[in-house]
Amino acid sequence: MPPNQAAPLAREEDRHGGQREGLRDGPREARAQRDGALLEVWDLVCHFKLRRKWWKGGPAPVVRAVDGVSLSVGRQETYALVGESGCGKSTLGRLILRLERPTSGAVRFEGRDWLALRGDHLRQARREVQAIFQDPLGALDPRRTVGKSVEEALDAHNLAKGQAARRRVAELLESVGLRPALAARYPHELSGGQRQRVTVARAIAGGPKFIVADEAVSALDVSVQAQVINLLADLQESLGVSYLFISHGLATVRHMADRVGVMYLGRLVEEAPAEELFSAPAHPYTKALLSAAPAPDPTTASKGVELRGEVPSAASLPSGCRFRTRCPKAKEICREAEPVLLAVAKGRSVACHFPES
């Protein structure tokens, strides 16, 4: 039972207890789940302060990019985060990668306090947590050959030097399905799919346990997407890595993910095993998201909910439930109280006053 499924009061106690004594308190099944968890995120918050306009009074506006997200990812598990653009899923990924500083909250990786690592300790620990970015051309230095870029990963942790490093680079390129001769090429000489394979080779060079794949296939052609997805799945099998798979492509998520978290305006609104989420979405937002995805066969496409209006700004959230401005089921209570993420079935939780059952 992940931390966010407990009742709010219990969760609060649980969290403080956990921080004090290394997550050893709490109900028995929760402990069992946590011992298996590789990465745990506890109530993570990341607010960006905007500059106050001098002609407007009041406090400086705050963008709540990530506003209290808790989740856990097990070993060799693929956890997918889905949601519209601007809902904070990429920021969450960057927080876990320590590229952004969180406002509050905790992240534990293999039981260690991941956010407390500093300087050289952090640099060395990064070997375990790697990233694949959306734009592979931007993620590779245009002035270095791709071989050098992959070699940099080996050099950073003193894994291999000189001739041995070049041999290892060739092996890595082969393991992601590229000819080793491509090591001498510059990024702009490769195709999009080849570039993304290079960044995958670089990510696995240090033998990571956890990879944040931030829209890793969104920029690629559909046929190449499938190849890269299959590559990622194969690597999970052979290396035993876990993925945090951030995506807005629901088809790839369905294919890849073990569990799915749906984010809306900085919060998780629903969390469920992938198959259950796709077959029976409980949150109206999830339902709308699924019905917005094009169906392979238009004649059988379900008549789903259609979302009206725009996503509210993360700098001025609506009162109560964040989704109520666009929700077809919104009632008076949605304006007054923000629903918490509650377990509705085994492994499933949803933050809604009127969940589908």
The answer to whether 261 and 273 have CB atoms below 8 angstroms apart is: no
| Residue 156 found at the interface with other proteins (CB under 8 A) | yes
| Residue 133 found at the interface with other proteins (CB under 8 A) | yes
> Closer to other proteins at the Cβ: 152 or 258?
152
The two most distant CA atoms of the chain are separated, in Å, by 69
User: What is the C-alpha separation between 151 and 165, in angstroms, rounded?
Assistant: 6
User: Mask of contacts with other proteins, 206-235, x by CB under 8 A?
Assistant: x-----------------x--x--------
User: Mask of contacts with other proteins, 160-179, x by CB under 8 A?
Assistant: ------------------xx
**Using the rule CB under 8 A, which residue among 95, 131, 263, 289 binds other proteins?**
131
- The piece of 79-87, 133-141, 270-278, 314-322 that touches other proteins (CB under 8 A) is 133-141
CA-wise closest residue to 70 among 123, 19, 131: 19
| Residue 289 found at the interface with other proteins (CB under 8 A) | no
Nearby residues of 12 by Cβ (< 8 Å), 6 or more positions away: none
> Closer to other proteins at the Cβ: 149 or 325?
149
| Residue 186 found at the interface with other proteins (CB under 8 A) | yes
Residue 224 burial by CB count (10 A; 0-12/13-18/19+): exposed, middle or buried? middle
Task: Supply 156's token pair.
Answer: 């950073």
| Residue 123 found at the interface with other proteins (CB under 8 A) | yes
| Residue 116 found at the interface with other proteins (CB under 8 A) | no
CB of 54 to other proteins, least distance (A): 22
| Residue 142 found at the interface with other proteins (CB under 8 A) | yes
Give, in degrees to the nearest 5, the angle at Cα 233 between 125 and 195: 75
User: What is the C-alpha separation between 43 and 66, in angstroms, rounded?
Assistant: 9
280: helix, strand or coil: coil
102: helix, strand or coil: coil
| Phi/psi at 296 (5° precision) | -60, -35
> Closer to other proteins at the Cβ: 219 or 343?
219
**Using the rule CB under 8 A, which residue among 75, 127, 254, 329 binds other proteins?**
127
Which amino acid is residue 150, in one-letter code?
A: V
| Residue 143 found at the interface with other proteins (CB under 8 A) | yes
Task: Supply 27's token pair.
Answer: 């109900």
User: What is the C-alpha separation between 269 and 353, in angstroms, rounded?
Assistant: 11
| Residue 194 found at the interface with other proteins (CB under 8 A) | yes
**Using the rule CB under 8 A, which residue among 21, 189, 234, 336 binds other proteins?**
189
234-256 exposure pattern, b = at least 16 Cβ within 10 A, e = fewer: ebbeeeebbbbbbbbbbebbbbb
Binders of other proteins: how many residues, by CB under 8 A?
Answer: 40
| Residue 139 found at the interface with other proteins (CB under 8 A) | yes
The footprint of other proteins (CB under 8 A) covers: 97, 99, 123-127, 129-131, 133, 135, 138-144, 152-153, 155-157, 178-179, 181-182, 186, 188-191, 193-194, 199, 202, 206, 224, 227
